[in-house]
Every structure is written in C-alpha cells, then in structure tokens.
C-alpha cells in the first residue's frame, strides 16, 4: 500500500473560466474526480492528498461532498510543482513508504496503467520512477534526458531546454513514484534558478542522482492517457477520446452502436450484449443497461438509470434516476425522472413524470407497476403510483394513485359543434 498526492492548485488561466480547472467536467464528472477514481481503482493507495490553491474553497467543498476521505492541503502562494508537493511534508513526516504523485487534470489516466506504473517502481527497487511518453511533436512539454546507459539523468522544462534537448521526443508525463523516506529531503533543497522562477518538481531527479539514489523511467503504452487539460480546446479533445475509447469497449463487448460518430456514452455506463444504440444518443453518468435493449435515436439518459433486458427507449426520450424492468417501452417524446417502472408497461408518446415541485423544491417518485398502460400526452404528478394493470387515458393529468386494473380519465368529454366554422366565418 502507498499514499498519493494529487496536484490541483493551479488557476488554469487558459481555460478562461470562473470555474477552477480541475472542476471542469466530462460527462458531468470533474477532471479531478477521474484522477481520484483512477487512483482508488488501483486498490493500492491507502490515503490520498489533494493540493489545493486557486479557489481552494470550491475545490475543498467538492471533495468534502464527493470524496470525504480525501485530505486537502493548501498551497498559498503557488510557487511551483515542487513547492506544491512540499506542502504535504508535515503530514508525511514519519512516513517511509512509497508515494504516487499525479496532476489533477489528466482525466484519461486509467487504473490499469497506474497499477503497472506502481508495480514497475516496486519491482525495480528504485528510489524514484518517473512516467514518460513518446510524442512526435512534444511542443512545450518537459523533455526526459537519459544517460548513455539509458537510465534517467534529468528532466528539462521546454523553456529551459537547449536546442539539442528540445529535439528529444520523450517527455515527462508528470507522474512519479517515490521512495518517500529517501526522497522527501529533496523538497527542502529545491532552487528557483529556472526561467519561471519556481520550485520545479522535476528537480528532484537531479537531487536524487547527486545523492546516489536510483532513478528509473516507465514509458506508458497509451500516451493519450496522460493528456493534460489546459484549455477548452483540450477539454473537447479529451472528451472525444474518452468517448471513442468507451464506444470501442462496448462494440468489442457485443453492443451494436449504429453511428459511433454521433453517439456519446459515459465511461461509467454498463451495457449488455445485443443492445442497439441508435444515432445521436447522449448517455451520461452511471447507468446499467441490460441485453437486447433499444436506445434512441435522439435519446438522453442523464444518469442513475437501470434498464433491464428488452427495454425500448425511443426517439427524443429523456430518462434520469429511473429503474425500468424488462419488456417495457417508452418510444416517443417522453420524460421519465425519479421513477420505478415495472415490466410490460407501455408509456405513450408525450408522457412526463412531473417529479419536481418548484415551490417546495422537493423531488418525488412516480411508481408504475407491471402491465400498466399510460396514454399519450399524460402527466403523472408525483408522488403517485399507478398500480398493476391500470390504464391512464390519453391527456390524463394524474394526481392520485390509480388502483390495479382501473382506468383513469381526466379529459373533458368531446363536443362536436356542427357547421361552427361556416357560421363564424
């Protein structure tokens, strides 16, 4: 087991946003959340620290609500990445195990890659291991400088690199595994003699070599996993790649996706084999979709949706926080929220569950039991239960529970006035 340090103090100026960079989202999940989940998913980390700085109150509140076990450490002022990590020294003063260090803006990193990285560091017996990647055009990324024997010599930031160094294609991915007991002293010896005038985390490599410690390099297989987000352009690029990766996984697992280019599926959504996803669907958040379902086209699942086998969610149907049992259809222009829906139910076109009271700001549940039929353009005003086998007539506004096998009708009787048009024109 080891400890982790996630750096999330930066302002993210290029995002041009009032929101802290690490709280920007992909599929409604923050960049920081993806990193924390990836670390937790390794099953190897017993304690996580997040370095906060810019708008620290907002980041701390997010962590308090969503990751209450995570410890936050304030970096103020922000004097560089090395300074950020040094803020944790008082909390790990007597700790001598391994520490994993990551940036909080790399949402594409996976638990599997982190496990490989940690295992590589552990098995090599090195005191410091950095993660690297190979880029054809590394641009402004820090370059990895190797010794003649291939071992790690140093990391040079692009702004400080010579012309020869800038031609190197191997870059620093910004992830580190440290033997904390041996490396922690480095953070008290960092200098600011660089173009930025900051305490660079990368300088711990030079310190380790000068003090006879062993350094190593782990090269990640998929370089896109360490893609850092610094702008809205990069956020969009990362979102697209995350979606492509998710869709590829579902296709390989037997899900039929008619048009991957117009379909968006959250990586937290599970889908069983032989389900068909039609074009222009957006499936967000955590969902479980069974086998042989049909989704879309133009369907929107907003999260916390559970669909059993053989469910049909048709065109322009929106679903959130709802469980739908097998062989139920909601085919057209429908909203289902905060609901429990049984088997063999038919939801007519234009039906909505009115689950939110804007006066009390309370959301309530709609329950529709097995074999019920809901007529088109109906409004089910929660809290309400439609019992087994009950029918709701078209254009029904249902504000009371409907008994089993009953018919509920709320519309006025039809009146036909003969020759009304001719008389009134």
Query: Which residues are annotated as catalytic?
Result: 332
* Spatial distance between the Cα atoms of 22 and 10, rounded to a whole number of angstroms: 8
Classify residue 115 as left (phi > 0), alpha (psi -120 to 50) or beta: alpha
Half-sphere exposure of 22 (CA within 13 A, CB side): 30
How deeply is 153 buried, as exposed, middle or buried, from its count of CB atoms within 10 A (0-12, 13-18, 19+)? middle
Sign of the dihedral defined by the CA atoms of residues 246, 252, 255, 259, in that order:
positive
Half-sphere exposure of 11 (CA within 13 A, CB side): 8
């Amino acid at each position: 087991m080891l400890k982790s340090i996630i750096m999330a103090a930066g302002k993210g100026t290029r995002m041009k946003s009032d929101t802290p960079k690490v709280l920007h989202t992909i599929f409604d999940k923050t960049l920081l959340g993806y990193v924390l989940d990836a670390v937790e998913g390794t099953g190897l980390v017993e304690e996580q620290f997040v370095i906060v700085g810019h708008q620290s109150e907002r980041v701390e509140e997010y962590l308090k609500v969503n990751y209450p076990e995570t410890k936050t450490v304030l970096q103020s002022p922000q004097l560089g990445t090395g300074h950020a990590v040094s803020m944790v020294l008082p909390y790990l003063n007597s700790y001598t195990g391994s520490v994993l260090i990551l940036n909080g803006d790399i949402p594409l990193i996976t638990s599997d890659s982190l496990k490989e990285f940690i295992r590589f560091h552990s098995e090599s017996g090195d005191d410091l291991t950095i993660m690297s990647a190979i880029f054809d055009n590394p641009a402004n990324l820090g370059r990895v400088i190797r010794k003649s024997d291939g071992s790690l010599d140093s990391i040079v930031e692009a702004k400080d690199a010579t012309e020869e160094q800038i031609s190197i294609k191997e870059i620093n991915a910004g992830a580190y595994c440290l033997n904390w007991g041996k490396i922690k002293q480095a953070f008290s010896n960092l200098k600011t003699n660089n173009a930025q005038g900051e305490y660079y985390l990368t300088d711990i490599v030079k310190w380790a070599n000068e003090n006879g410690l062993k350094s190593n390099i782990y090269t990640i297989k998929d370089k896109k996993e360490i893609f850092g987000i610094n702008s809205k352009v990069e956020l969009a690029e990362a979102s697209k790649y995350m979606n492509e990766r998710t869709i590829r996984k579902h296709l390989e697992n037997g899900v039929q996706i008619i048009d991957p280019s117009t379909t968006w599926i959250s990586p937290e959504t599970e889908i069983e084999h032989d389900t068909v996803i039609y074009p222009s669907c957006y499936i967000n958040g955590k969902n479980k979709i069974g086998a042989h379902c049909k989704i879309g086209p133009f369907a929107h699942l907003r999260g916390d949706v559970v669909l059993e086998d053989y469910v049909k969610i048709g065109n322009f149907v929106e679903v959130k926080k709802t469980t739908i049992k097998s062989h139920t259809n909601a085919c057209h222009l429908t909203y289902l929220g905060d609901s429990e829906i049984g088997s063999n139910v038919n939801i007519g076109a234009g039906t909505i569950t009115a689950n939110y009271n804007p006066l009390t700001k309370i959301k309530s549940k709609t329950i529709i039991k097995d074999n019920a039929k809901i007529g088109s353009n109906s409004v089910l005003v929660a809290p309400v239960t439609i019992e087994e086998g009950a029918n709701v007539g078209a254009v029904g506004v249902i504000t009371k529970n409907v008994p089993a096998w009953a018919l509920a009708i709320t519309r006025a009787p039809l009146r036909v006035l003969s020759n009304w048009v001719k008389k009134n024109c």
